[in-house]
Structure 1
Amino acid sequence: MKHGLKNSVFWMFAGSGTYALMQWFQLAIISKSCSAYTLGSFTLALAIAAPVFLFFGLQLRNVQVTDSRNEYTFSHYFGLRLCTMIAAFATVCLIGLIGRVDMGILTAVAALKGVEGMAEIFNGQQQKLERMEFLALSLSLKGVAATIAIPVGVYCFDSLAVGLALAVALNLVVLFFNDYLNCYRLFGRKRFISLRGLNYKSLFVKSLPLGFVMLIISLNGNIPKYFSELLLGTEQQGIYSAIAYCLVVGNFVSNAVGQSFSPRLSRYYADGERIRFIRLSQLFVGGNALVGLALFLFTLVWGEWFLRLAFSPAIAAYSRLFSLIMLGGIFANMANALGYSLTAMRVFRIQPFINGIELVVNLIGCYLLIRYYGLSGAGLAAVITPCFRLAILFLVIRNRLNRRCG
């Protein structure tokens, strides 16, 4: 049963919005109840785990959703994701042993990312069938579960690691009783998971470029945190990471709409409906720009008040940094929209090169700007870097569309 695009967008907003709000609550609880060092250790653990899990995730969900000709079965996606999540967990633990990281927090964060990665494959099947209400429920339940677990660990056991471990346990419950059972019903109560006799090579090779894309995108988001940790210390890194997390508001809007638009964009492009594809892409990019602009204007007027309410007076002193980061968010969200359009066109191989250029710009910019201007330099880098990606994506998409019509 296909649902309307407006209905799909509504459910994705509901689910992604609830999930983003719950993540903000989690960060607010940690920033208000734990030391600045613990906050920095948590955000550093996220900065280490996120790129690894996104790389090993191979963007399988997007490949699954845009697989309009059913080139691969659900079992292919599920089996490959299971293998890659195990590899990702092992890699994060190895990095933790090499570096100076709180292993309790890092291991719990990695386990949580692994469970979320498995849930994505079930969510991808629901998204592909445009049953966004199931996906929204899944995101909401996982967000609420973690938001309940973290304060239990912090207040009852005086340990963030314990709270994160409880979050992993609750997310496993959601994974089985919601994600798995809902997909079981969508498949008509037939067996839909089998790990026997499956050849993952073709799917792995097809998805690997997208894994590099996600790795580079995640590194681009986390490079300011790495340089802040290296040059300014864990506490300053924690402050930057808390403020930068506010970008999730724009990201959730972009991703909610993008996940709803992706199946339709993919069909329009596959069917040669160029005009409809362009119009829907323009609507997506324009909407992202307006949302980003509204958030930026909000920070100019009420930025300090919001940071004080959301986090702490110490973080509220960095309201100018908040405005700089949200200015960069306008361009980042527009580029994110074009990235969804390029993926819907099934153009995968060039994406690592596009994001690689952005990575080089980001590395140079963060090193020079943070070194000489501190956290303000990180904010400037957050504005400059996404502009490069936005321009390159626009040129690539225009060229591909012209070649297809030519």
Structure 2
Amino acid sequence: MWKKLNNIFSKLSWSLFGNIIYALSQWIIITIIARFGSTADLGIYSLGLAITAPIVLFFSFQLRTFLATDSNNEYNFAQYFGGRIIHLTFSFILIIPIAFFYSNNIETVLVIILLGIIKYFEGLSDICMGFYQKKSKIDIIGKSQMYRGISSIIAVGILYFYTRSLIFSLLGLLIVMIVRLVNYDLKHLKPLGEYTPVFDRSSIQLMKMAFPLGVVSLISSLNTNIPKYFLEYFSGTEEVGIFSALYYILIASNMLITPISLLVAPGIANAYKQNKIKKFLKVNLQLSMVSVIVSLLIITLIVLQGEFILNILYGSKYTPYNDSFIIISSSLIFGFLTTFFTVSIVAARAIQIQPIMNLIVTIVTIISSYYFISTDGINGASYTLLISRMFQALLSGSLLFYIIYKKNKLYHVN
């Protein structure tokens, strides 16, 4: 028993450590641009992410979660991998004309295209992580994230410091993503007998089956980025850069929760499949408690030391936005809850209704963005983010409650 617990703790520790390093790397990249560059550069980088992320996430179809919770082994990894390559190719083909349509500035266009290529290789690594997640090899995921994080900091840090060019910095980041995929993620698949992608009808079948999840990802990403679109329209690119710097508290904090969701996903899927309703409910209650405790600790820290944190990370010019920083951090609790709720919802394969739920959140986000951002800029964008996350958690929690209720009723009837 102690040996088993020690093994679980070791895997979770590696995953937690790797995700913390990765989260810090993303934050440090933002910090490097903020401290050594301009808010305009930070705005271009943030907008590039805001444009490419929804497209890539849609064509990813959440296949990683699908693979990790595929307890019936409907498809093998080679089919998932082949499908991911085909789907991501479509996403990149779409990103190119959008980049030229969005901006006449050649630097902005190149940033968008480079971020599209980077996310292509990130997506290939991501599906490998889904396989390791299914096999409960969480330590490999953590080490991969650590490799990615440290390499990203070194590449972007050195290139941006000496060139002050986003283009050269992103080229360095692209090399890091390719080397990570080839030298680590794919390399560790060989001993498991999973390596060569299969290109057959399964890619179409997977796309049809997981299409609602792609829509969910698209809408969820839009919900996150819509405030940035409105902020650029009403205030300008520089304000987008400032808001994005504040917003990275969510990105970094989510990396604390991700290892736990990765570890429990296969167990949740098995509990649901085997009709162990009490266990399914118990795990979800425990995860909800973890969400509340962790988020409250982070929020408390930011309320007490927000200005100090902003000054250390980005410089004194960001400290006047401490109120927005606190509002954004308050949305953490809802983001954490939604992350865990989604794992259970996907495990139960209740995915058809999710696009409708997320569409409701999108409507709320658009209305909130127009109302708040047009009058209150960055502060308004922060309130919009909080309202959006709150609605998303409420709807996801309601769906999960219905799933548990329906499963319990069916189980007792049988």
* TM-score of the aligned structures, taking structure 2 as reference length: 0.94
Post-superposition shift, 1:336?
A: 2.0
Q: Match for 1:37: what amino acid?
A: A
- For residues 180 and 220 of structure 1, the distance between their equivalents in structure 2, rounded to whole angstroms, comes to 33
Q: Secondary structure at the match of 1:374?
A: helix
Counterpart residue number, 2:412: none
The verdict on how the C-alpha distance between 1:112 and 1:10 changes in structure 2, with shifts beyond 3 A counting, is: same
| Cα deviation, residue 104, structure 1 | 2.1
- CA–CA distance in structure 2, aligned partners of residues 324 and 286 of structure 1: 21
One-letter amino acid of the structure 2 residue matched with residue 382 of structure 1: L
C-alpha distance in 2 between matches for 1:358 and 1:5: 36
Q: Residue 162 of structure 1 is aligned with which of 139, 151, 168?
A: 168
Which of 123-132 and 339-348 deviates more? 339-348
1:124 aligned to which of 130, 134, 141 = 130
Other-structure match for 1:177: 183
Q: 1:158 to 1:397 in 2, by over 3 A?
A: closer
Uncovered stretches (5+) of structure 1, i.e. residues with no partner:
none
Q: Distance in 2 between matches of 1:42 and 1:155?
A: 16
Residue 273, structure 1, aligned to residue 257, structure 2: no
- Across the two proteins, how many residue pairs are aligned to each other? 403
Deviations 1:101-151 (A, max 9, x none): 712221221111111000111111111100111111111111222211112
| Displacement after TM superposition at 1:4 (Å) | 5.3
Identical aligned residues as a percent: 28
Task: Assess if the C-alpha contact under 8 Å between 1:253 and 1:288 holds in 2.
Answer: no
Q: Supply the distance in 2 between the matched residues of 1:288 and 1:164 (Cα, whole angstroms).
A: 34
Cα distance change of structure 1 residues 291 and 194 upon mapping to structure 2, 3 Å threshold? closer
Q: Does 1:145 align with 2:160?
A: no
Contiguous gaps of at least 5 residues in structure 2? 410-414
- The Cα shift of 1:341 comes to 1.6
CA contact 1:111–1:168 (8 Å) conserved in 2:
yes
Tell me if the contact between 1:232 and 1:374 (Cα under 8 Å) persists in the aligned partners: yes
- Counterpart secondary structure, 2:284: helix
Tell me the SS of whatever aligns to 1:348: coil
Identify the match of residue 353 of structure 1 among 342, 352, 356: 356
Structure 2 residue matching 1:256: 3-state secondary structure: helix
Q: Give the counterpart of 1:314 among 311, 314, 317.
A: 317
TM-score by length of 1: 0.95
Residues 251-266 of structure 1: pairs in structure 2 closer than 5 A: 251-266=254-269
User: Taking structure 1 as reference, are residues 144 and 55 closer, same or farther at Cα in structure 2, changes over 3 Å only?
Assistant: same
**Using a 3 Å threshold, how does the CA distance of structure 1 residues 356 and 8 change in structure 2: closer, same or farther?**
farther
Which of 326, 332, 337 is the matching residue for 2:335?
332
SS in 1 for 2:186: helix
Moved more, 79-88 or 94-103: 94-103
Which of 385, 392, 395 matches 2:398?
Answer: 395
- The separation in 2 between residues aligned to 1:196 and 1:338, in whole angstroms, is 32
Secondary structure of the structure 2 residue equivalent to 1:24? helix
CA distance 1:9–1:345, change in 2 (3 Å): farther
Question: Residue 144 of structure 1 aligns to which amino acid in structure 2?
Answer: I
